[in-house]
A and B are shown apart, each in its own frame.
Chain A
Amino acid sequence: MILLAVKNLAVQIPQQDKTIHLLKDISFTLKRGETLAIIGESGCGKSTLCLSILGLLPQHFQTAGNLTFYKNGVEIQLQDQTDPHFNNIRGSIVSMVFQDTLGSFNPLFRCGQQIIDVLKEHVSGSPIQNKQRAIQLIQQVGLNDAEDVFNKYPHQLSGGMSQRVALALALASNPDLLIADEPASSLDSMAKNQYLDMLRELKDKTNLALILVLHDLNDALRFSDSMFVMYNGRGFEYRKKSDIQKTPAHPYTRALIDIQNSLNQTRLPQQIPGEVPSITKLIPGCPFHPRCSKRSDICRTTFPPPTFFLNNHFVCCHHYFKSN
């Protein structure tokens, strides 16, 4: 059952002399209980994509395209909602865990109070019920001394605890979709795996859909069902994880997987030659062509149209058919 359909989403910032395109032509669908990993280097527009799903982009950003949620047989067009209605979507349908978890807490309020504020907004209950529910949520994210954490201020939490409390806060409104932006980037690898495992368990229990924004391809390959590879504000490849793992279709995805393999085999890490282009710079044709080993003349002038597979999955490369 489809939960979210993103179609031709574009985000841009109009300026006096030019327009900066942050996202171009992003399309994907997400089913209930599915985990989608968004992969890409820094500055490719992953966080912008997350915020646009929540309708939380700054006012001077222009968006185009469609974002549609399907809940209880009702279609909710996000682009049509005026701001007060967005609150019905935010929290109750989609919620988010931010990369800087400590910064996402209000420093002056106790963690428990902040969870209760979310409960008050979305779940009707007496103050005692809300407190019990908040403590349950803290236990649910794997923190044993829930009563103690409830009474703590954000600055008293350790890194790992703050990640988990942030998750409890995001789950308090009982959303259908959880977006996690680099959810465990500040944790060491053991804590990160524990955290992601817990997230997967929670997802399986509640049929929650997940969008994981990840740096680490290994994590994406381990924890996701499908992957969306982004570069310079565009989607290059959107396919099932297993397909990408076996036969990466885009040269960029292939390069990323090669790097990951070299790391796994404890060889010296390879790198993709060239630099990540700035999002403000307009590159004609395929934005990856200056770094691509397969580039040809057409790559310099025309952005490749998507080649579609089943389930709206696609790859955007002029050389896809040639190489297969």
Chain B
Amino acid sequence: MLNGIIRRILSAIPTLLVGITLCFLIIHLAPGNPATRFLNPSQTAATQEIIRERFGLNQSLPIQYFHWLKQVLFHFDFGYSFYNGKDCTEVLISALGPTIILSFWALVFALSVGISLGIFTALRADTHVDRVINSTMMIFLSTPAFWLGLMFIGLFTIHLNWLPGSHLHSLYYDQLDSFGQLLDSVRHLILPVFTLGLPLAATVFKYIRAGMIDALQSDYTLAARARGIRQSTILWKYSLKNSLLPLVSLLGVIIPALLSGAVIVEVVFALPGVGRAMVTAVFGRDYPILMAGASLAFFIVILFNIVADIFYRILDPRIRNSAGGL
């Protein structure tokens, strides 16, 4: 098992490298030039050239790439932002806080709502309650996050004025006592978490409902009932474990979905997270920030895929013992 995990981690390294290389190339292929950001009517072509030289953009692409890779691999140095000269690592670390908070609560929300509703409806398959919940979840599944976010802001912030629709805190946050600060943060998080979490909850719901129905109709459930095993054991011990299996492999898909979803949600709700930093960097052609963010995203996606693989193998003995697996 340990050997398998080490093998899996080693095989992830080329994936990471190929991904980052492709990303570097694609970013540089995109039209536009970082130097134009500093363009003003008094600048001459020579000034432009000076800026390009300062950023190292006058060198050929392979040289730029290997220079960047060397700095990252040997000094863990992602460079400095073209825009404000800040250290990329620091920029990302400071932006990571809001993203982690948002993603974590969205994941908690998606898992708790998805799993509980999935079980609830699987036990009532093909009833009216099941159909209503199922259709509602399908609507959330197919709704784009940016539209959902805008609708939430329109309804709960502008129309009803119940919840704030932007930023992490209110302007008067520092003047509040600690309970007030907590309440203020929670109020600010509700709409973004719902926007990011609802489509994910629908995905989780779909998997759990299908898995649970499958498990409840399976031969082993029938056989367990024939042996007189009580319904609660069948449900909570036998069927739930089986229906959670696809969810574990889904983890490898959920995390990228969270990351890409967070980009949109952070922009819609003006949250200072990694997503918004990336969007700003894309528009400003801020290559170092973009590359640092992309590397982080690649790393997280690959890491969670490995974690999902390991969990899957722990939970499912059939894969654990198969040859050629982990």
Q: Which residues of A contact B (CB under 8 A)?
A: 54, 56, 83-84, 87-92, 95-96, 98, 100, 103-110, 117-118, 121-122, 153, 155-156, 166, 169-170, 172-173
> Roughly how many angstroms separate A215 CA and B249 CA in the complex, as a whole number?
42
In the complex the two chains form, is A106's CB within 8 Å of B227's CB? Answer: no
What does DSSP make chain B's interface, helix, strand, loop or mixed?
helix
- Other-chain residue from B219, B226, B242, B317 in contact with A95 (beta carbon distance below 8 A): B226
Q: How far is the CA of A98 from the CA of B218 in the complex (A)?
A: 13
Q: Which residues from chain B contact A56 at a C-beta distance below 8 Å?
A: 222, 225-226
Residues of B within 8 A of A118 (CB): 227-229
Given A106-B242, A108-B316: A95 touches B228 (CB 8 Å cut-off) = yes
**8 Å CB contact of A92 from B222, B228, B231:** B228
Closest to A170 in B: B227
B315: nearest chain-A partner, CB-CB: A108
Interface residues of B (CB under 8 A from A): 218-220, 222-231, 233, 237-238, 241-242, 245, 315-318, 321
Known: A87-B228, A117-B229. 15 other contacts (CB 8 A): A54-B225, A83-B231, A95-B228, A96-B227, A98-B222, A98-B223, A103-B218, A106-B220, A106-B242, A107-B318, A118-B227, A118-B229, A121-B233, A155-B321, A173-B228
Contact check, B225 vs A98: say whether CB atoms are below 8 A apart: no
Q: Are A103 and B228 interface neighbours, CB within 8 A?
A: no
Most B-side CB within 10 Å, residue of A56, A96, A106, A169:
A106
Contact call B242/A108, Cβ cutoff below 8 A? yes
Residue from B230, B241, B321 within 8 A of A108 (CB atoms): B241
A255–B315 Cα distance when bound, in Å, is: 52
A174 to B229, CA, bound (A): 14
In contact, A153 and B228 (Cβ under 8 angstroms)? no
Q: Can you report 5 A-B residue pairs in the complex whose CB atoms are below 8 A from each other?
A: A91-B228, A108-B242, A117-B224, A117-B233, A121-B230
Contacts of B245 in A (CB 8 A): 108
Question: Bound state CA distance, A84 and B228, in angstroms?
Answer: 10
User: Which of A110, A117, A172 counts the most B-chain CB atoms under 10 A from its CB?
Assistant: A117
Minimum CB–CB distance for B188 against chain A, Å: 42
Let me know if B220 and A104 touch, CB within 8 A.
yes
Task: Report the 3 A-B pairs with minimum CB-CB distance, sorted nearest first.
Answer: A91-B228, A104-B223, A103-B219
Is B227 a contact of A169 with CB atoms below 8 Å? yes
In the bound complex, residues from chain B placing their C-beta under 8 Å from that of A96 are: 223, 226-227
B219→A100 contact, CB < 8 A: yes
A98 touches B219 (CB 8 A): yes
Contacts A121-B228, A121-B229 given; does A105 touch B321 at CB 8 Å: no
| A171 to B, closest residue via Cβ | B227
